[in-house]
Each structure stands twice: as structure tokens, then as C-alpha cells.
């Protein structure tokens, strides 16, 4: 028995473990539950070929597929105060931050900012990294949106924000809630300068993020199937004791109810953004083109 368990079994395990595929080679589609091979989803912009489900993507990939030719320059963001409340729940907030920064780089937080061109027009993009503590908005994220707005004004560029966030970062308490008015003031700076401010809502955009700058775009786009709302559907259902309609809080539902202008498949994102920025920046072009978006008019 000992010989079997102590010697043979580890050997067998060793052989099997070596042959097993790494975890990230295959991924189950959350839409249709089909197993997707990573090369295939990568080649298709992380969209399921079977059901069209748009999987969540990193901020880095978002920037690549948004800017012309995938070319952009990331800017260094101002250093924000970390862990102002010395917060601790089951674990220390400082440890959680360190863990995420080990994945995304030291000094990183939930928002990255880059500038470049989209449809040949200068644009600044602030993209949320959902993988960084659920894309939660703390002081650093507020700082990043503010930096993006200032850069857009400086470069006379359009500002495009791509939220993917669970909301305010609770570990920063009231200071994270203060980022709501702060980011609203930031996008107001862009609007006051007469520059376009476009929001692309991605899955998920909820909580304090959906209750601030994310709902203030001159044009509001969304990715197919993205969940966008303030409180979660389950919480609402339990509060009002009513069954919610199908597709509640999904991008397509929000188009029908006037909160979103257009649902844009990822493959059409760059062209659509370029077209919209072009129409907003160049009035002559917009007169010739007629209505801004045929799908909506």
C-alpha cells in the first residue's frame, strides 16, 4: 500500500500533470458555455465565434483595438496617495493593492490613459482595467480620469472613456465617493473646451462609475451584452419584489430605453469611433453625412 501511494501515485501524477494543458489555453464562453481555444478568441478580438459574446478584455488590448493601427502613447499618471484610511477587512488593503500591482506593474491602478489617433483625429482614451480590483474607482482612478481630461484639453483632442468597473473602491471609503464629482468636473472641462466626450460602456459598468462620468457622454456607446446599471439586478429584484424584464440592464435594453445611443460590436469599434469623432469635430462633414447615426434616427 505504501509503495503504491508513496511511489507509484506521485509518478503517475507527475506524468499526467506534465501533459495537462495550461489552464489558460481553453476558456469557457460565459454566453454559450462552449470551450474556446485561446488563439481563436484572440484572433477574434475576444468575441465568441459561436454566440457573439463579448468577453472582458484588458485595458492594454482595449487601447490596441481602439487606436488607428494599434498605435498609442501611454502617459504616466500622477502618483496618488495609497491606502489613506489604512483599511483592513479580511486582508489589508495595502496587500490587495500590492498583489494587483504585481500583475499590472508597480504604481499601476484601475485606469490607464493613452493618446493617439482614431480615424486620423487626435484622441485621448482612458480605459478601465477590470482585472485590477474589479476596476474599482479610488483616488488613483479619479486622478487618471482628471489627467486624461486635462490632456484632451491640452491637445485639443476628443476624450473617450471606457469604463469596466464594479463602482467606487470601498477600501477608500468616502474618498472614493469624492471621485464621482471630481470626474464629473473633469469631463466638464472637456465639454467647456468644445471637445467631444464619448463613453463606451463595457461589461460591467456599475455603482459609482455609472452614477458619474460614465453617464455624461455627448455620445454613449456600449458593447453588446454589457451590463450597465447602478445596483445589481438581484438587489433590485429583492427590493421591489418584482421579476425584472428580460435583458434588464443590458446594453441592448438600454438602447431601447434611451440611455445608450448605439451598441457597437468590437470589430466595428474603431471605425465607429472614428466616424463619430469626425462628425463632431468637422461640422462640414456632419452636414454632408446627414444624421449622426442611422441606426438611432
List interacting residues with Zn ion (CB under 5 A).
29, 31-32, 48, 50-51, 53
Nearer to Zn ion, 31 or 84 (CB): 31
> CB of residue 56 vs Zn ion: minimum separation in angstroms?
13
How do strand 219-222 and strand 197-201 relate by DSSP bridges? parallel
Nearer to Zn ion, 131 or 224 (CB): 224
> CB of residue 234 vs Zn ion: minimum separation in angstroms?
23
Cell of 269: 469599434
> CB of residue 50 vs Zn ion: minimum separation in angstroms?
4
> CB of residue 40 vs Zn ion: minimum separation in angstroms?
11
Q: Is 19 helix (H, G, I), strand (E, B) or coil?
A: helix
> CB of residue 233 vs Zn ion: minimum separation in angstroms?
21
Nearer to Zn ion, 31 or 131 (CB): 31
Cite the beta strand spans of the chain per DSSP E.
26-28, 35-37, 72-74, 111-118, 121-128, 158-162, 197-201, 219-222, 262-263
> CB of residue 33 vs Zn ion: minimum separation in angstroms?
7
Q: Are 109 and 80 in contact (CB under 8 A)?
A: yes
Buried b (16+ CB within 10 A) or exposed e, 71-91: ebeebebeebebbeeebeeee
Nearer to Zn ion, 52 or 173 (CB): 52
Nearer to Zn ion, 53 or 266 (CB): 53
Nearer to Zn ion, 25 or 103 (CB): 25
- Nearest Cα to 209, choosing from 218, 199, 219? 199
> CB of residue 279 vs Zn ion: minimum separation in angstroms?
33
Q: Are 195 and 277 in contact (CB under 8 A)?
A: no
Residues sharing a CB contact under 8 Å with residue 160, sequence separation 6 or more, in sequence order:
66, 118, 123, 124, 125, 126, 197, 198, 199, 200, 273
- Nearest Cα to 281, choosing from 161, 193, 196, 218? 196
> CB of residue 47 vs Zn ion: minimum separation in angstroms?
9
Q: Are 197 and 216 in contact (CB under 8 A)?
A: yes
Cell of 48: 465568441
Nearer to Zn ion, 28 or 91 (CB): 28
Nearer to Zn ion, 52 or 122 (CB): 52
Grid-cell match 484601475, residue found: 110
Amino acid at each position: 500500500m505504501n509503495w503504491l501511494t508513496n511511489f507509484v501515485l506521485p509518478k503517475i501524477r507527475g506524468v499526467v500533470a506534465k501533459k495537462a494543458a495550461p489552464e489558460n489555453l481553453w476558456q469557457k464562453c460565459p454566453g454559450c458555455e462552449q470551450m474556446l481555444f485561446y488563439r481563436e478568441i484572440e484572433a477574434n478580438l475576444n468575441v465568441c465565434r459561436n454566440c457573439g459574446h463579448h468577453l472582458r478584455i484588458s485595458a492594454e488590448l482595449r487601447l490596441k483595438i481602439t487606436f488607428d493601427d494599434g498605435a498609442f502613447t501611454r502617459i504616466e499618471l500622477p502618483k496618488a496617495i495609497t491606502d489613506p484610511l489604512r483599511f483592513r477587512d479580511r486582508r489589508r488593503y495595502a496587500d490587495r493593492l500590492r498583489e494587483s500591482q504585481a500583475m499590472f506593474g508597480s504604481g499601476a491602478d484601475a485606469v490607464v490613459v493613452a493618446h493617439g489617433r482614431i480615424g486620423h483625429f487626435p484622441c485621448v482614451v482612458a480605459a478601465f482595467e477590470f482585472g485590477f480590483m474589479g476596476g474599482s474607482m479610488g483616488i488613483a482612478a479619479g486622478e487618471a480620469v482628471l489627467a486624461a481630461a486635462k490632456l484632451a484639453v491640452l491637445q485639443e483632442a476628443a476624450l473617450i472613456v471606457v469604463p469596466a468597473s464594479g463602482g467606487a473602491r470601498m477600501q477608500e471609503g468616502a474618498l472614493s465617493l469624492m471621485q464621482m464629482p471630481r470626474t464629473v468636473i473633469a469631463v466638464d472641462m472637456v465639454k467647456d473646451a468644445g471637445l467631444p466626450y464619448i463613453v463606451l460602456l463595457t461589461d460591467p459598468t456599475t455603482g459609482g462609475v455609472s452614477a458619474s462620468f460614465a453617464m455624461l457622454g455627448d455620445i454613449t456607446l456600449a458593447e453588446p451584452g454589457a451590463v450597465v446599471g447602478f445596483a445589481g439586478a438581484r438587489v433590485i429584484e429583492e427590493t421591489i419584489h418584482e421579476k425584472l424584464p428580460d435583458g434588464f440592464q443590458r446594453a441592448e435594453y438600454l438602447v431601447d430605453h434611451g440611455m445608450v445611443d448605439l451598441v457597437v460590436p468590437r470589430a466595428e469599434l474603431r471605425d465607429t469611433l472614428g466616424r463619430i469623432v469626425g462628425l463632431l469635430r468637422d461640422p462640414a462633414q456632419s452636414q454632408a453625412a446627414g444624421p449622426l447615426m442611422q441606426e438611432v434616427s
